[in-house]
Amino acid sequence: MSARHFSHLPDEDVERLFSRPPEALGRACPPALLAVALGATLYMPGTRPRLAHDLARQAAQGAVSSVVCLEDAIADADVEQAQENVVAQLRELSRSGATAPFVFVRVRHPEQIPAIVAGLGDDAGALTGFVLPKFTESHGAAFLDAVDDSAASAGLRLLAMPVIESPEIIHRETREDALLGVQRLLDKHRSSVLAVRTGATDLCSVYGIRRGRDLTIWDVRLVAGVLTDVVNVLGRTDGTGFVVTGPVWEYFSGDERLFKPQLRHTPFDQHDANRLRADLITRDLDGLIREVVLDKLNGLTGKTVIHPSHVPVVHALSVVTHEEYADATDVLGAAGRSGVSPSRYGNKMNESKPHLSWAERTILRARAFGVSAEDVSLVDLLAATAGRA
């Protein structure tokens, strides 16, 4: 299984847009790189009758990671049938030889993990790993043991992505102990934990909250505080942390708006792209753009999405700009030396020690998503990618 971001674009577009194109990704690539490269992880219910076809189609349109859900997206009465469908569809996908995203299955119970791997048999290579819901220290150990045991029995590396979304995490009096417990457990299984996912919808449900399309999850203070604490404990760059991904964006079509659109005219005017701006706003993608920017600012990497139109937006925003790459390479070039120096763009100071972790993470993102050409803007990337969705 292999993939490359933006491989669905014509070669001439890739050459025009990137000074350094994205690297090829495979099962054997370092977990730190694969975690950053997940990008927009597209969720699909396990009941889809043409799941194999849908996964291949989305890969051909730019999706690199996907989660097939057997948990909240499935009615209780349909779980057994959905699990059988997932196994059958992944076997079909494996045997078709079609290019596919990295596929994870979101299970309900630990017992489903060995059952799915055994059901796939020789076709287990179609599966990259499992998403573990409602993850806590007490609830999660059985899931992680099941992943490790199933990987050993199949002779295949399987990766886990726990989801932080339980009431213990949002309740103030239990949050710190709950997060520290999760950290202890994940550290014991570090080699098989790819990334930590965040479940904002479940966190909101504890208080009967649902954010509107005009707002981001960072406007929901109860949940924003949880996300900040998750990054604080589980997203550290000192060797104890993991990649923490952004929560789901759940809107995909426009409706009456209370607030103004969140995209300025000027960048689109400069690129004669006002039709693109109007299309992004109509599909509520301006809200997604703002939330992804705030996710990145607050230490989150990648995004859970539920509609194919979300994928190119998240990926365009994940490309490292020429300026970011210049700053990151300058900081890494000065590693081991203290002091500051002006950036090559002449608009900021780069400090070799405080900016080191940022530079290392930026270089990983550059490997996964590429570096834009010097004269290429976000509008250009959106026009080439989101304009096709």
In Å, how far from its chain's centre is CA 332?
26
- In this structure, are residues 197 and 227 in contact, taking their beta carbons and an 8 Å threshold? no
> How far lies 231's CA from each of 26, 182, 279, 292, in Å?
27, 12, 33, 15
> How far lies 25's CA from each of 22, 206, 254, in Å?
9, 38, 34
Question: d(Cα 32, Cα 16) in Å, to the nearest integer?
Answer: 28
**Three-state SS at 132:** strand
Beta bridge partners of 103: 66
In Å, how far from its chain's centre is CA 128?
14
- In this structure, are residues 104 and 66 in contact, taking their beta carbons and an 8 Å threshold? yes
Joined tokens for residue 8: 């669905």
**Three-state SS at 140:** helix
Question: d(Cα 67, Cα 106) in Å, to the nearest integer?
Answer: 6
Question: d(Cα 246, Cα 216) in Å, to the nearest integer?
Answer: 11
Provide the strand spans (E) within the chain.
2-3, 18-20, 25-26, 40-45, 65-69, 102-106, 129-132, 159-164, 197-198, 246-249, 303-305, 340-342, 349-351, 371-372
Does the annotation list 202 as a binding residue?
Answer: yes
Q: Which residue has the tokens 């930026």?
A: 362
Tell the burial category of 321 from Cβ atoms under 10 Å away from its Cβ (0-12, 13-18, 19+): buried
Which residues, other chains included, contact 227 with Cβ-Cβ below 8 Å and sequence gap of 6+?
Answer: 198, 200, 217, 218, 247, 298, 300
Type and span of the H or E element at 28: none
Binding site members: 202
Binding site members for Mg(2+): 202
